[in-house]
């Protein structure tokens, strides 16, 4: 359980862990793009399926905007507004937190959102249908997760290559997981969930780890604190997450079926609030960094674009507080994380658009593209 800070920040050379193509340390920068996309509290940017020029911009405030990324002169429109259905308190981590378009959206017109509602406090996963814009009256609430506190809501949603909907849920909040939710397989808090939404409501896939008992059938993986952004590698189909730490360590995880990622036994690689602990059966992070370098990890993507071939197959992620961006080789469980850029931005999410390149969504009211330094 020793600290791996040296491993994390070392740039390995002259060993078997060096690969033919490696990103250049500190060789990248964030360049602002789409200056007309300047909403506050942005935490999502997704292409709208079937509309190559248009994207959906998700704001924590409860509004999803439809914007033309190719033509700044086209006025944006409100794609969906859920402000009247959710808690809107800028002092908390609540609000509109996730959006996922159905794999067959072009035909089904179905989309899914994750937001925090009140009285009682709960996270809501709801389905809407859309024409040119989403119809607010079409809401169908599929799943509601009681929330004991106003933080650690998770909120990311993404469809896997298997057509199932994966949902990231935080541990319920406060500090240190006082209710031990993350390790409790009878609650949906502190988990990655996997459900089948192809019908009217949702069903539990038969191959989920607890589909036949031993826990809630919706659970795919557990032992997470506040997974902030989950994404699939578009080539390998592997699921990645950035899991926000407590007071000392942030981590990046490769999520697998039935995996226990250790919280609140572990924080990063370390025992949480203990000199020793029993971490048997848990999966250690792919990477971890201390709060010397940031305070809240933002999960990213395995890069599969063309503009930076040396980044091919590297998982790129950042920190909301410091704006630092790193990458780890996704093809192995070994090898150091490489620092890519020190942007100084409040990175709330990453995005991949139709060009396959990597974009940074920020609370700085701006979108940036990751590029090599000239």
User: Rounded to whole angstroms, how far apart are CA atoms 58 and 60?
Assistant: 7
Q: Which pLDDT score is estimated for 313?
A: 98
Q: Which pLDDT score is estimated for 9?
A: 39
Q: Which pLDDT score is estimated for 88?
A: 84
User: Rounded to whole angstroms, how far apart are CA atoms 244 and 254?
Assistant: 14
Both structure tokens of 25: 């340390």
Measure CA of the first residue to CA of the last residue in the chain; give whole Å.
40
Pick the CATH number of 5-372 from 2.120.10.30, 3.30.200.100, 3.40.1190.20, 2.40.50.100: 2.120.10.30
How does pLDDT run across 100-111, given as a tens digit for each residue?
999 999 999 999
Length in residues, the chain = 374
How does pLDDT run across 222-272, given as a tens digit for each residue?
999 999 999 999 999 999 999 999 999 999 999 999 999 999 999 999 999
Strand partners, 249: 290
Instruction: Report whether pLDDT(369) > 50.
Output: yes
Q: Are 279 and 271 in contact (CB under 8 A)?
A: yes
Both structure tokens of 52: 């190559």
Q: Report phi then psi at 105, rounded to 5.
A: -55, -40
What percent of the chain lies above the pLDDT cut of 90?
A: 93
Mean of pLDDT over the chain: 94
* pLDDT (mean) for 324-333: 97
Instruction: Report whether pLDDT(8) > 90.
Output: no
Instruction: Report whether pLDDT(197) > 70.
Output: yes
Domain boundaries, the chain: 5-372
Q: Report phi then psi at 192, rounded to 5.
A: -105, 125
Q: Which pLDDT score is estimated for 90?
A: 80
What percent of the chain lies above the pLDDT cut of 70?
A: 95
Instruction: Report whether pLDDT(112) > 70.
Output: yes
Instruction: Report whether pLDDT(17) > 80.
Output: no
How does pLDDT run across 29-86, given as a tens digit for each residue?
999 999 999 999 999 999 999 999 999 999 999 999 999 999 999 999 999 999 999 9
How does pLDDT run across 133-148, given as a tens digit for each residue?
999 999 999 999 999 9
* Secondary structure (DSSP) of 43-72: EEEEEETTEEEEEEEEETTSEEEEEESS-T
Q: Which pLDDT score is estimated for 79?
A: 98
Q: Which pLDDT score is estimated for 89?
A: 85
The pLDDT-based confidence of 19 (bands split at 50, 70, 90) is very low
Number of neighbouring beta carbons within 10 Å of residue 52 = 12
């Amino acid at each position: 359980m020793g600290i791996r800070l040296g491993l994390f920040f070392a740039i390995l050379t002259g060993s078997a862990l060096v690969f033919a193509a490696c990103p250049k340390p500190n060789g990248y920068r964030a360049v602002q793009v789409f200056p007309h996309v300047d909403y506050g509290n942005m935490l999502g940017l997704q292409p709208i399926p079937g509309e190559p020029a248009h994207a959906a911009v998700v704001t924590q405030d409860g509004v999803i905007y439809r914007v033309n990324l190719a033509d700044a002169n086209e006025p944006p429109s409100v794609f969906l507004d859920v402000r009247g259905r959710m808690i809107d308190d800028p002092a908390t981590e609540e609000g509109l937190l996730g959006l996922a378009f159905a794999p067959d959206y072009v035909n089904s017109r179905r989309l899914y959102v994750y937001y925090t509602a009140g009285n009682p406090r709960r996270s809501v996963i709801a389905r809407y249908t859309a024409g040119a814009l989403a119809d607010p009256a079409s809401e169908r609430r599929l799943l509601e997760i009681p929330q004991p506190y106003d933080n650690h809501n998770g909120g990311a949603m993404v469809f896997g290559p298997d057509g199932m909907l994966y949902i990231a849920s935080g541990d319920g909040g406060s500090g240190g997981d006082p209710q031990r939710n993350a390790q409790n397989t009878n609650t949906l808090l502190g988990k990655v969930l996997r459900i089948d939404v192809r019908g009217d409501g949702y069903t539990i896939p038969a191959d989920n780890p607890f589909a036949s008992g031993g826990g809630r059938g919706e659970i795919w993986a557990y032992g997470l604190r506040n997974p902030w952004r989950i994404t699939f590698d578009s080539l390998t189909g592997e699921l990645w997450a950035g899991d926000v730490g407590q007071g000392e360590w942030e981590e990046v995880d490769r999520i697998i079926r039935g995996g226990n990622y250790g919280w609140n036994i572990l924080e990063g690689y370390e025992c949480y609030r203990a000199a020793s602990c029993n971490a048997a059966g848990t999966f250690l992070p792919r990477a971890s960094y201390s709060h010397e370098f940031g305070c809240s990890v933002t999960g990213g993507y395995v890069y599969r674009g063309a503009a930076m071939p040396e980044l091919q197959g590297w998982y790129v992620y950042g920190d909301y507080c410091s704006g630092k961006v790193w990458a780890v080789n996704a093809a192995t469980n070994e090898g150091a994380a490489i620092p890519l850029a020190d942007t100084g931005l409040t990175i709330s999410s990453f995005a991949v658009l139709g060009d396959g390149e990597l974009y940074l969504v920020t609370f700085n009211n701006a979108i940036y593209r990751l590029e090599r330094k000239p």
